Amino acid sequence: MIYDVTIVGAGPAGANLARLIGERYTVLLIDKRELGIDKGSGPVGKCCGGLLAPDAQEMIARLGLGIPKEVLVDPQLFAVRTIDLNNHLERLYQRFYFNMDRGKFERWLISTLPAAVDRQFGCVFQDYVPIPGGYELQYTRGGQKCSAKTKILVGADGAFSKVRRSLFGEKHAPEKYIAIQEWFACEEPMPYFTAIFDQEITDFYAWVIPKDGQILFGAALRPGPDAAENFERLKDKLTRLGFCFDRKTRTEGAYIYRPTRASYFRAGKGDIALIGEAAGAISPSSAEGISYALRTSLFLAESLEKGLQSFLPRYSAKARKIRFNVLLKNMKSPAMYVPFLRKLAMKSRVKSIR
Ligand SMILES: Cc1cc2nc3c(=O)[nH]c(=O)nc-3n(C[C@H](O)[C@H](O)[C@H](O)COP(=O)(O)OP(=O)(O)OC[C@H]3O[C@@H](n4cnc5c(N)ncnc54)[C@H](O)[C@@H]3O)c2cc1C
């Protein structure tokens, strides 16, 4: 059998695409994680802050979906506490986030897939070779080699995507950060999401998010031998500010792309498309990526409505909106990441809450 579309990665981008095209085309969806097995409340989700930002909420609405309450965690957050360690400033801003369990969110998305989608979880994509009319991809399941034939291949395999690297190598890839997250038991109420800026530690940012009796401390750092040390240094600084990081329950990590140029966005090549973070679709200012994953997968699904022929130019044209959005976010970034400009913005108290 030759599938019409094979999607590598069942995160928000891959799962949403499979949901949208799964009744019209024969679809194979593979993911290295065991997303089909309910492992209860274990750490099954991708390493993520689990905040659904307003843009992502809008996408959920555009897709005609509603989030079940089981996906949410306590508390729901309406404020960002911004701590600027370079300028010794702190402000509170109103924001509207859905605070959720990322693992449950992913499982819920998977539960919306049409029954016809062939899901192969616990399978690691390795490589592909062109064949007449498409591609033959190789993947492994529990160490066993498997293969499948497909007309179209979609890379939805997130940051540091293997599919993207097979097409474009490391050249023109978005800047790569390593995100480390540690979870701590914490009973104290924390009714805000904290964003921490400290140029000595990272030129991106760090965060603390309360989640169901725990707090999640994470930071996006330049990869390298100093990353873990910088993470610990920041933890020390925050401990001195009163954060309590005593009772650690788990540590996790993941790569995160930061497209500091709109040209890092890549729609794909030949009959191979990229969606979500694999395409370089993620906010370079906040690292919010779920709305981009949902939007790019919607654009690709719309591009496939007219058939498989010439779908990539159609997708590429639609994705211009993503490039433009990334450009705008990059224009906004200096106000957040240049310490002097951030100082001006915070000192002005514009839009801050007392
Ligand atoms: C620490 C951290 C915190 C974040 N917090 C937020 C947040 O709070 N809100 C927000 O909107 N965004 C957040 N993001 C960004 C967001 O998680 C991503 O941008 C978003 O998940 C991208 O969706 P995706 O489907 O493109 O990729 P992913 O969600 O990364 O999914 C990729 C999938 O591909 C699978 N995969 C990868 N390689 C292979 C392979 N070789 N074979 C088989 N399967 C493979 C993975 O298992 C995964 O399921 C955060 C990112 C990080 C790292």
Structure tokens at 25: 């085309």
Q: What's the gap in Å between 223 CA and the centre of ligand 1? A: 17
* Alpha helices, H only, 68-117: 102-111
Instruction: For 8-19, write each residue's pLDDT tens digit.
Output: 999 999 999 999
In contact, 155 and 8? CB cutoff 8 Å: yes
Range 54-75 average pLDDT: 96
CA gap 274, 3 in Å, rounded: 17
pLDDT number for residue 45: 81
Q: Is pTM beyond 0.85 here? A: yes
Residues with CB under 6 A from ligand 1: 8-14, 30-33, 46-51, 53, 56, 124-125, 156-158, 162, 179, 181, 218, 254, 256, 276-278, 282, 287-290, 293
Tell me the CA end-to-end span of the chain in Å, nearest whole number: 63
Range 1-5 average pLDDT: 96
Structure tokens at 17: 């695409």
pLDDT number for residue 37: 64
Residue 280: name the closest of 323, 336, 218 by CA.
Answer: 323
Q: Which of 6, 16, 31 to mutate to test the pocket of ligand 1 (most atoms within 8 A of CB)?
A: 31
Atom of ligand 1 nearest to the CA of 159: 30
Range 149-157 average pLDDT: 98
Of the chain, the percentage scoring pLDDT greater than 90 comes to 94
Of the chain, the percentage scoring pLDDT greater than 70 comes to 98
Instruction: For 212-267, write each residue's pLDDT tens digit.
Output: 999 999 999 999 999 999 999 999 999 999 999 999 999 999 999 999 999 999 99
- CA 73 from chain centre, in angstroms, equals 19
Q: Strand 352-353 vs strand 206-211: parallel, antiparallel, or unpaired?
A: unpaired
pLDDT number for residue 320: 97
pLDDT number for residue 44: 65
DSSP state letters, 192-238 = SEEEEE-TTT-SS-EEEEEETTEEEEEEEE-SSTTHHHHHHHHHHHH
pLDDT number for residue 354: 87
pLDDT number for residue 156: 98
Q: Does domain 2-35+42-344 have CATH number 3.10.105.10?
A: no
Q: Which protein residue's CA is at the shortest distance from atom 41 of ligand 1? A: 125
pLDDT number for residue 168: 95
Q: What's the gap in Å between 158 CA and the centre of ligand 1? A: 5
CA gap 123, 143 in Å, rounded: 9
Atom of ligand 1 nearest to the CA of 35: 49
pLDDT confidence band for 301 (50 / 70 / 90): very high
Q: Which of 32, 166, 297 to mutate to test the pocket of ligand 1 (most atoms within 8 A of CB)?
A: 32
pLDDT confidence band for 42 (50 / 70 / 90): very low
Range 143-160 average pLDDT: 97
In contact, 87 and 337? CB cutoff 8 Å: no
Q: What's the gap in Å between 233 CA and the centre of ligand 1? A: 26
CA gap 327, 245 in Å, rounded: 37
pLDDT number for residue 324: 97
